[in-house]
Amino acid sequence: MGACRVLLVTDDRRTISGGLGRASIVTVAEVDSDGIQAWQEHAVPWRERHDAELHGTHHDSILAFVRQENVRAIVADHVGAPMRSQLADLGITVFEHGGIDARAAALAAAGVITGQAAHGDGERRP
């Protein structure tokens, strides 16, 4: 499989926790057939901005981040229908699964997107 970048909502830094639009921490994992090759956490202001900004402005900032990070899939506890539609227009697949291990979610999402399973246990190798 070629590398696949997956955005994970990981407010607790371990599991898929929280909705995309109200996230405070997201992780971008780069996954290939050998497993997770990169794992980078990002503090994002989306929780604070969710109710303070107009929906279009809020969505635009999330979409800009997703484009900048070249994300192909998102795993979150919840993604609202309008945001799901905008992400689908960009060719980004959304998976809603709360409470599951973030590393396992990254491997599974990348496997669905590429059609090939990633090997490994989710631990990044040097």
**DSSP per-residue string spanning 103-119:** HHHHHHHHHHHHTSPPP
Confidence of residue 125 (pLDDT cuts 50, 70, 90): very low
Are 118 and 107 spatial neighbours (Cβ–Cβ below 8 Å)?
yes
Largest CA distance in the chain: 43
Encode pLDDT of 15-53 as tens digits: 999 899 899 999 999 999 889 999 999 999 986 656 666
What top-level class would CATH report for the domain 4-114?
alpha beta
φ/ψ region of 100 (left if φ > 0, alpha if ψ in -120 to 50, else beta) reads: beta
Using a 10 angstrom Cβ sphere, with 0-12 exposed, 13-18 middle and 19 or more buried, the burial of residue 89 is exposed
Which pTM was predicted? 0.88
